[in-house]
Structure 1
Amino acid sequence: MILLSFDIEEFDMPFEYGKEISFEEQIAFSVEGTHKILDILDKNKVKATFFSTATFALNAKELIDRIVESGHEIASHNYYHTAFSIEDLKNSKEALESLTGTDVIGFRMPRMYPVDEKEIQKAGYTYNSSINPTYLPGRYNNLDKPRTYFYQEGVLQIPASVSPWVRFPLFWLSFHNLPLWLYKFLANWTYKKDNYLNIYFHPWEFMNINQPEKFNFPAYVVRNCDQAYVDRLDQLIQFFKTKKYPFGTFKEFVAKIK
């Protein structure tokens, strides 16, 4: 199963590069990018999972309605994107469930930071997708973690997909920078080995973030952004469909493997 997921959140990334952006623009930027994503998914008739912060969802009700009405899954991406406390685990779940009228069974920590699995279980989640099982200097050091799904403290862990053998990460930055033919090759190799693929993106990647004065992002972040990123995702989905690989939400995947 192809597990496409999107972390929808306050667009706070400019702060990491010394730039200011208002809260209203953070929300508006991510809302517009998410609509672009939904258009691609609608066009290709595939379902996905949206990991949303409660803060973003509460400020983008019409967008969340569109996601739910289109048959996609809403999971938790914490209450805020920039701050975390243990109480946020349960509070974000309850806020998203109240807003969407759906059961929120999954969690992903912002920036894939570590989180106590006992607290995840206590908050009522079934699965957690907060591990990138690779090594990336200054970001991830998870070579000791299983590469594919496993259980920990009663919670199903669904790590982001990395290639067999060398554990090359297939996350959003790779999709920006690799030639598309090479990304397809690695993704296909991983799918055939694991029988599923878990890859994730963000709505702001589908926007024009190549604005040095405004955002100050490095070249490896802005390469192939905006319409180029829209086209790349569209082509990737069509590639998977020619292989007749099924698409589904994390919730569907959990039900299948159980």
Structure 2
Amino acid sequence: MILLGFDVEEFDMPMEYGKTISFEDQLAISTTGTLLILDLLKTTGIKATFFCTANYAINKPDIITKIVSDGHEIASHGYYHSDFKVEHLAQSKAKLEEIADTPVTGFRMARMMPVDETEIQKAGYVYNSSLNPTFIPGRYNHLKKPRAWFFDHNVLQIPASVSPLVRFPLFWLTFHNVSLSIIKWMAAAAHRKDGYLNLYFHPWEFTDLKQPERFGFPNYVSKNSGDAFVKRIKSFIVWAQSKGYEFARTGDFAQGVINSEPRF
């Protein structure tokens, strides 16, 4: 089983690199990437989960409608991408359910930052996918956390996938910088170990990020972006399908785990 998740947000990452980008451009870039992803998923015949900020959904309700009409899942990525308050957990869920006209059961914290699991439960989420169980200097230090799914405060935790033993992250930056043959080898090992993969990306990766004056990104972020990234992800999907791996929406996977192995 492979769970593909896409964090649909206002594209404010250039601000981390000292660049200014208008809100209109933030929305436009994320929307362009989201449409490319939807085309890719339709071509390959698979369903995925889109973790959306309420702020994006409010400004682009037509895109949320299209995601749902294409058979994909809407989950919460908070209310804003760069501003978080505890009350945003319930507020983003309610707003997304209003716009998408479908239940929202999952959550992913922006930038995979820590979040209080008690508050996640109070807000009514069934699962949380906000943990990257690896070590990346300045970002994550979760080597002591479980690397596969587990329950915390009655909420199913679905960490991002990492390779067995050394816990090399199988996340978006890996797909930009590591050869596909090595990624496939690590993915197969993780799938063999855990029985599933949980992979996450962002729509803006599917657009041209090699614009240093505009975005200020280092090469390890912009490498293989745009059309190259579309081709790399499609190649990975086709390889996975050839191996017999099935793809599923994260919420469906979560419900299957809860129904078969409740661990509260």
What TM-score range do you get, normalising by the shorter chain?
Answer: over 0.9
Gaps of 5+ in 2: 259-264
Partner of 1:160: 160
- In the TM superposition, what whole-angstrom CA distance separates every residue of 1:204-243 from its partner, at most 9, and x where no partner exists? 0000110011111001001100000000000000001001
In 2: Cα distance, 1:115 partner to 1:127 partner = 13
Q: Could you tell me the percent identity over the aligned residues?
A: 57
Return the offset for 1:197: 0.1
- The code of the aligned residue for 2:243 comes to K
Aligned residues: 258
Runs of 4+ in structure 1 over 2 Å off: none
Return the offset for 1:26: 0.3
Pairing of 1:58-77 with structure 2 (within 5 A):
58-77=58-77
Helix, strand or coil for the counterpart of 2:15? Answer: helix
In 2: Cα distance, 1:171 partner to 1:14 partner = 19
2:256 matches 1:256: yes
Partner of 1:5: 5
2:212 matches 1:212: yes
Return the offset for 1:58: 1.0
Helix, strand or coil for the counterpart of 2:231? Answer: helix
In 1: Cα distance, 2:190 partner to 2:68 partner = 29
Pairing of 1:62-211 with structure 2 (within 5 A):
62-211=62-211
- The code of the aligned residue for 2:56 comes to F
Return the offset for 1:144: 1.1
Gaps of 5+ in 1: none
In 1: Cα distance, 2:3 partner to 2:173 partner = 17
- In the TM superposition, what whole-angstrom CA distance separates every residue of 1:74-106 from its partner, at most 9, and x where no partner exists? 000000001000110000000000001111000
- The code of the aligned residue for 2:46 comes to V
Return the offset for 1:37: 0.4
In 2: Cα distance, 1:121 partner to 1:193 partner = 28
**Could you tell me the TM-score, scaled by structure 1's length?**
0.99
Partner of 1:223: 223
- How large is the RMSD of aligned CA atoms in angstroms? 0.6
Return the offset for 1:135: 0.5
In 2: Cα distance, 1:95 partner to 1:63 partner = 15
Return the offset for 1:121: 0.2
- In the TM superposition, what whole-angstrom CA distance separates every residue of 1:29-71 from its partner, at most 9, and x where no partner exists? 1000000000000000000000000000111111111100011
Helix, strand or coil for the counterpart of 2:214? Answer: coil
Return the offset for 1:138: 0.3
- The code of the aligned residue for 2:162 comes to V
Partner of 2:246: 246
Helix, strand or coil for the counterpart of 1:78? Answer: coil
- The code of the aligned residue for 1:231 comes to K
In 2: Cα distance, 1:150 partner to 1:133 partner = 12
Helix, strand or coil for the counterpart of 2:4? Answer: strand
Helix, strand or coil for the counterpart of 2:248? Answer: coil
